Amino acid sequence: MNLQLAIFDLDGVIVDTAKYHYLAWMRLGDEIGIEFTKQDNERLKGVSRMRSLDILLEIGQQERTALEKEQLASKKNGWYVDYINQMDASEILPGVLPFLDELRGEGIKVALGSASKNARTILDRVGLTDYFHAIVDGNLVSKAKPDPEVFTLGASLLNIEPRHAVVFEDAQAGIEAALRANMMTIGVGDPHTLKDAHYVIPGFANFTLSDLHRVLAR
């Protein structure tokens, strides 16, 4: 494959905000009497805020009106935003910065493909906004992961064909989206959870551009 574009999910790939989403959903769950497991939480990763709430309500077998759902989602988001407003560059996950530098050094374009409406706030907080040639977030797309839109839009903004792109994702929904976009997929996290990815790495520590080229040449 002739690698021209690397697309990164944000939450759980570049920064560990997945833990803040989890904490905020747990707090909401506590308030409305819904318990959910770590395994249930995998289903909330990568999907939009509203879809996450629907999944949570489904787990708790609760129903709410559209207005109540708006209020619950915005409550959760308030707590989440309190967490991310405390973030700084020290929260960039190990190995991410050198890897981004290597890609850019080789002339490979770098894009963000995140479902989050808070993506720009997070990138600003950790000082990464200028690293990306294109930023596609939850404010730009109408169809959330596992729909491929978030990734195909990034590629088309940079005039790159999907077959020249690789996607780094920590969520099942994101891997599915990238596969549907006809892109190479690298899971970041647990190989069992991310079993549909072409390849899985535990994180970017000890993962270099030559490792990526080796994986893509397999």
Assess 44 for contact with ligand BG6 (CB under 6 A): yes
Q: Is 43 in the site for ligand BG6 (CB under 6 A)?
A: no
Q: How far is the CB of 91 from ligand BG6 (least distance, A)?
A: 15
Contacts of 49 by beta carbon, 8 Å cutoff, 6+ apart: 73, 76, 77, 117, 138
Task: Walk across the sheet containing 199-201 and list its strands.
Answer: 134-136, 109-113, 5-8, 165-169, 184-188, 199-201
172 binds, among Mg ion, ligand BG6, none (CB under 5 to 8 A by kind): none
Q: Can you point out the beta strands (E) in 114-159?
A: 134-136
**Binding status of residue 138 toward ligand BG6 by CB under 6 A:** yes
Question: Is position 114 an interface residue for ligand BG6 (rule: CB under 6 A)?
Answer: yes
How far apart CA 112 and CA 22 sit, in angstroms, is: 21
Site string for ligand BG6, 187-216 (x = CB under 6 A): ------------------------------
Tokens of 207: 């993962």
Residues serving a catalytic function are: 9, 11
Q: Which of 143, 112, 107 lies closest to 130, judged by CA?
A: 112
What minimum distance in Å lies between the beta carbon of 164 and ligand BG6? Answer: 24
- Which listed option, ligand BG6, Mg ion, none, makes contact with residue 149 (CB within 5 to 8 Å by class)? none
Q: How far apart are CA 124 and CA 141, in angstroms?
A: 20
Q: Residue numbers of the site for ligand BG6 (CB under 6 A)?
A: 10-11, 21, 44-49, 52, 77, 114-118, 138, 171
